[in-house]
Homo-oligomer: A and B are copies of this chain.
Amino acid sequence: MEIVNNSVTRLRNKAVTEYPKLVEFLKHNRVGNLAFVGDDGRPNQLPIAYGLVDEKVLLHGSTAAGGLRLVADGRAVSFGVSRTEGLVLARSAFESSMHYSSAVLFGNFKVIADNAEKDLKLQAITEFLFPGRGAELRSNTKKELAATLVLELELTSWSFKVSDGWPEDGESDLELDIWAGVVPIETKFADPIAAPDLRAGLQSPPSYISKWRP
């Protein structure tokens, strides 16, 4: 399989070309942005949870979901995963920026049609999104499987950019009387909140949650 690393046309110093770094980034996120051209010819998008399984992006959702159903026909898509990781306060507005990581994948989704395969992929998505939880949950029912669309995208064409540097002020701005630096943005889990209808005797959230990355 040919792996094409699309050229990042600007800020080449920020382009990450190593495939393992792309995979690592996708492994540590869980929501992406599915962009596609609607039947009206106009661009549309939706945020959606994904699983990275066997180095392929898996989406799932209701067979009634508009956007997912559209891209199931194999039309061209882009799938973006990004994080804003900090504010870069330079000494001028012009040089002010952000710390971020941004992966954009290009290609076409393939429908996982076979029910047994669909079930396995859904289990793998659950394990990706909620590690450890799948072993506790009941199996998917036939009705649930029939109501669920599972789509798969290979990582054949992509770009990946990471911006994590210091402010890059020009020489003449360095003497200005203005603080400069980075304000990091962190994403964290807060304490789990039990559902109001939780069964008696089940007040402690499962321990595997503590290992999850937000």
Contacts and interface: CB of A to CB of B under 8 A. Distances in A.
Contacts of A9: 66
A209 interface: yes
A102 interface: yes
Q: Which of under 10, 10 to 19, 20 to 34, or 35 or more describes the interface residues of A?
A: 35 or more
Contact of A190 (B137, B144, B186): B186
A189 B184 contact: yes
Contacts of A77: 43
A156 interface: no
A183 B179 contact: no
Contact of A42 (B42, B78, B175, B192): B78
A51 B195 CA distance: 37
Interface in A108-147: 122-123, 126, 129-130, 133-134, 136-138, 140-141, 144
Interface in A132-190: 133-134, 136-138, 140-141, 144, 148, 166-167, 173-190
Number of copies of this chain that the complex holds:
2
Contact of A133 (B89, B141, B167, B189): B89
A65 B10 contact: yes
Contacts of A87: 129-130, 212
A37 B177 CA distance: 44
B10 A98 contact: no
Contacts of A96: 126, 129-130, 133
Given A130-B96, A137-B91, A189-B185, A104 B44 contact: yes
B144 A94 contact: yes
A98 B214 CA distance: 12
30 contacts: A9-B66, A10-B64, A10-B65, A31-B84, A35-B43, A35-B44, A35-B45, A35-B78, A36-B43, A44-B106, A89-B130, A89-B192, A92-B138, A93-B123, A93-B126, A94-B144, A96-B130, A166-B196, A174-B197, A179-B204, A180-B195, A181-B193, A181-B194, A182-B192, A182-B193, A183-B193, A183-B205, A184-B189, A184-B191, A185-B187
